[in-house]
Amino acid sequence: MTSHSPKGAFKIAIAGLGTVGGGVVKALAARGPELSSRAGRKLEIIGVSARSKNKARGIDVAGWTDDPLTLAKGDADVVVELIGGEEGIARQLVESALANKKHVVTANKALLAKHGKALADLAEKNGVTLKFEAAAAGGIPIVKALREGLIAHGVDAVKGILNGTCNYILTEMESSGRSFADVLKEAQAKGYAEADPTLDVGGGDTAHKLALLTSIAFGTAPDLGAIAVEGIEHISPDDIAFASEFGFRIKLLGVAKRMGNKIDQKVHPAMVRVRSSLANVSGAANGVLVDAGEAGSFFFSGRGAGEAPTASAVIADIVEAAGGTLSPVFGRPAASLAKLNLADGKQAVSSWYLRFEVLDVPGVLASITRHLADAGVSIESMIQRGRAPGEPVAIVMITHETAQHEVERALKAIGASDKVRARPCMIPMEL
């Protein structure tokens, strides 16, 4: 980490004036003197750009330019990229700004998850900083905590609820008993979910954020393609109700953890005990649990999206950049970021929640338990309830700790039976 003594106003250019960009402009206008005092120099917006100049935003658009790329070549000391997207104009702007020796602050998780190592190299080459606190969990200061605060004993695991849309849906499914499809429609109507919710509910958004947290926590280059991703589309009200009976809640987690000298990273629905910190992150909030070795466990929670919390994270990065402190993008020099030594997640050991929809006929349960036993899977507890004759019945089990590949082998054999009416459901017990 290096610093220099800044002089004069710190000139800010902002590309993208949506919810977050507008929030940044409003906050700087409302609290400019105090924020400037914290930065040690005046913070001044000298340029802005967005799709439409005439859109009603309720903010000052002085310094407007139709071409955001001109912001990277002007007088700005920092370019704030809030356009979004892993390619196109957002990537061009960030690369151009760094090449022109301007600091960059961004909330663009997709860009960094795919090009983070190259952008970190470019920032260091040009003696500027690239900051992205808002990209990982909105207003939660998890990037700074991992990069600077929890380094003494290293990190063994990071587990987080990183997508507010999914957490809102799962929370509402639990409280109302409604289906995923019904709650998703409500989330879209309230603005919690996009018209095309695939990136959120399919786990992709969580994967982008996890790639960044993995890099900072373990000193590796971001590797989005190495993350096994499963969304929440298949979670049923029955799964949520059964989880509750066993004393668990279902949450979509991004998990990165050490397995020997390798790292396992995955996004998946997981069972978490109702008394755990992550289980009690409700609604559209985010939460991150960090196992920092001998230092113990640390839990962070708060609003993961929205104007005020995300703008707060962006402004914190601007103030830090204005203060003259330069720190490596991912916590260590880009040249030292290692290629991810990926663990075989199928070897991960856990207890598992299993649900089977089967015909209520003699011998079905015996067949299921035989296939499980053949794969070395033992059962800790079970629930079976009858239904009307001829209707499928649910058989739900919690296993003892077993490797994922062994459970999958058993479920493949069980699912091949004509007495099993749907694909077996398996969810790991994560906490």
CATH number reported for the structural domain that contains residue 405 in this entry: 3.30.70.260
Give mean pLDDT, residues 262-291. Answer: 95
Is there a domain that residue 408 lies in? yes
Q: What are the pLDDT digits (tens) for 55-80?
A: 777 777 778 888 999 999 989 999 99
- Predicted pLDDT at 167: 94
**What is the average pLDDT score of the chain?**
90
Is there a domain that residue 338 lies in? no
Is there a domain that residue 335 lies in? no
**Residue 319 shares a structural domain with residue 239:** no
Is 209 designated active site? yes
Contact 397, 239 (CB under 8 A): no
**Residue 56 shares a structural domain with residue 202:** no
Give mean pLDDT, residues 406-413. Answer: 94
**Residue 293 shares a structural domain with residue 149:** yes
Q: Which residues contact 370 (CB under 8 A, 6 or more apart)?
A: none
Is there a domain that residue 410 lies in? yes
Is there a domain that residue 253 lies in? yes
Catalytic option among 209, 251, 257, 266: 209
Backbone phi and psi for residue 363, each to the nearest 5 degrees, phi listed first: 95, -15
**Looking at the DSSP assignment, which residues form a beta bridge with residue 49?**
15
**Residue 29 shares a structural domain with residue 112:** yes
**Residue 179 shares a structural domain with residue 299:** yes
- Read off the pLDDT band of 7 (50, 70, 90): low
**Residue 42 shares a structural domain with residue 96:** yes
Task: Decide if pLDDT at 262 tops 80.
Answer: yes
Q: What are the pLDDT digits (tens) for 202-249?
A: 999 999 999 999 999 999 999 999 999 999 999 999 999 999 999 999
Residue 36, domain CATH: 3.40.50.720
Percent of the chain residues past pLDDT 90, beyond the cut? 67
Q: Taking the model in full, what pTM does it have?
A: 0.91
Contact 249, 123 (CB under 8 A): no
**Residue 279 shares a structural domain with residue 187:** yes
**Residue 157 shares a structural domain with residue 254:** yes
What residue type is 246 in one-letter code?
F
How many structural domains compose the chain?
3
- Predicted pLDDT at 390: 64
Residue 218, domain CATH: 3.30.360.10
- Residues 382, 401: Cα–Cα separation, whole Å: 15
- Predicted pLDDT at 327: 85
**Residue 134 shares a structural domain with residue 147:** no
- Predicted pLDDT at 106: 95
Q: Which domain holds residue 408?
A: 345-429
Structure tokens, 288? 């991150």
**Residue 149 shares a structural domain with residue 233:** yes
Is there a domain that residue 173 lies in? yes
**Residue 172 shares a structural domain with residue 118:** no
Is there a domain that residue 364 lies in? yes
Task: Decide if pLDDT at 5 tops 60.
Answer: no
**Residue 244 shares a structural domain with residue 200:** yes
Closest CA to 99 of 126, 124, 121, 76: 126
